[in-house]
Amino acid sequence: MTFLPPITAYTCVCAVGRGHDALRAALTGMVGGLTRFDDPVGVLDTFVGRVDGLDTVELPADLTDYDCRNNRLAELTLRQDGFEDRVRAARDRYGAARIGVVLGTSTSGIASGEDAFLAWSGEGPLPSDFVFEHSQDLYSLSDYMRRRLHLAGPSYTISAACASSTKTFIDGAQLIAAGLCDAVVVGGVDTLCETSLRGFNALQLLSPVPCRPNDADRQGISIGEAGGFALLERDDCGRGDMPRLIGYGESSDAHHMSSPHPDGLGARLAMTQALEMAGLRAGQIDYVNMHGTGSHLNDRVEDRAIADVLGASVKCSSTKGWMGHTLGAAGAVEAAIVLVALEAQIAPGNLNLERPDPEALCRPLTETVPAGLNHAMTNNFGFGGNNCCLVFSRGGPQ
């Protein structure tokens, strides 16, 4: 087994609430957070996973130039589960220059750009309160977090569609393995915006009901917003009780701009790589968090890929029925779900799954159940054929 960084802190905020406890309660209670989208122009009939309270979140006085919905969600997420304190302690141990920031997003603060163009007269510059560098720019998120946490190590943003924040775990582990960092803040944030909602509607992918991944009657995806962070530290940090990233795999099949390879070649390759790096046999994966968006093609392709690599009997489910597809933040939030599952020894159910697809090979769990989990896998597959897979192991003796 290749030993990779322990996860010494993690947190997330999504439509079901803030932090570990809210996420655990939602998973065990089978209570989701999707609500009907209140479309101001009355065109879209869909559900979204909205995070309440972002309008009242205030950034520190010296960082108000970064004010936008995405960075407000980053700030709110940072305040949960003592995450900021854990990063501060790591900074004291290693020094600011030895801690990196690698975060993922697909749209960053593009909602601020949308607002600016709506307010624009059509002549002259855009409104003065719109600063592209500090809002819509993809690096805005990582730059805000770097400044907010007073860190000075390598810092950049990954935008690889729905695999964005999954890939940050891989890059963070590699920065530590290369000796460039002693710790890395990884994760991602994405927020609701017109571009995502109208764009997925144009692709005819939005579901008119809360998304139903793996259901025979699934009708598409529900867009959500979320933030999730994790702190990876070097192997000698003395936290043997913490969960650990033990394997990862990534591929780029480049089959189509928005559709997965019909035989799931890229997905299978990423899962196989992760399994091999972890030094595990297929039967040792106790649970798989599926990418499972609720679209007909995605769910079918992933089902066959999982059955091919791990076997059709593996415990699995998609958890997007709770908070929707959070795009660039999906990997971070679903990593948090897997970490909660390992800690609580539960296998999450597949919310809104009423009639399993009769053509599916795997049988996703319909309810959250107690389970003895030692190793769990999470998949995220993005537009353009970006495929990432992570394998986590619970902390302590196994």
pLDDT in tens, 286-329: 999 999 999 998 899 999 999 999 999 999 999 999 999 999 99
The pLDDT tens digits of the residues spanning 78-120 come to 999 999 999 999 999 999 999 999 999 999 999 999 999 989 9
CA distance 330 to 165: 7
The pLDDT tens digits of the residues spanning 341-366 come to 999 999 999 999 999 999 999 999 99
* Res 297: pLDDT: 87
Buried b (16+ CB within 10 A) or exposed e, 294-304: bbeebbbbbbb
Averaged pLDDT, 266-276? 94
Residues 85, 236: contact at Cβ < 8 Å? no
Phi–psi pair at 308, nearest 5 degrees: -70, -40
Averaged pLDDT, 234-239? 74
pLDDT of 2 strictly over 70: no
* Res 4: pLDDT: 82
SS3 (DSSP) at 7: strand
- Which band of pLDDT confidence, cut at 50, 70 and 90, is reported for residue 122? confident
Average pLDDT over all residues of the chain: 93
* Res 258: pLDDT: 57
Helix 110-119 with 69-78: angle, nearest 10 deg: 150
How far lies 240's CA from each of 27, 89, 378, 391, 393, in Å? Answer: 26, 17, 22, 17, 11
pLDDT of 257 strictly over 80: no
Strand partners, 390: 248, 378
Phi–psi pair at 368, nearest 5 degrees: -75, 130
pTM of the model: 0.95
Active site residues: 162, 291, 325
pLDDT of 15 strictly over 90: yes
String of DSSP letters for 109-144:
THHHHHHHHHH--SSSSPPTT--GGGTTSTHHHHHH
Delineate the domains of the chain, giving CATH numbers in brackets: 7-393 (3.40.47.10)
- Which band of pLDDT confidence, cut at 50, 70 and 90, is reported for residue 260? low
Between 118 and 27, the higher pLDDT residue: 27
Question: What is the Cα 210 distance to its own chain's centre?
Answer: 19
User: Tell me, what DSSP letter sits at residue 184?
Assistant: E
* Res 386: pLDDT: 87
* Res 1: pLDDT: 45
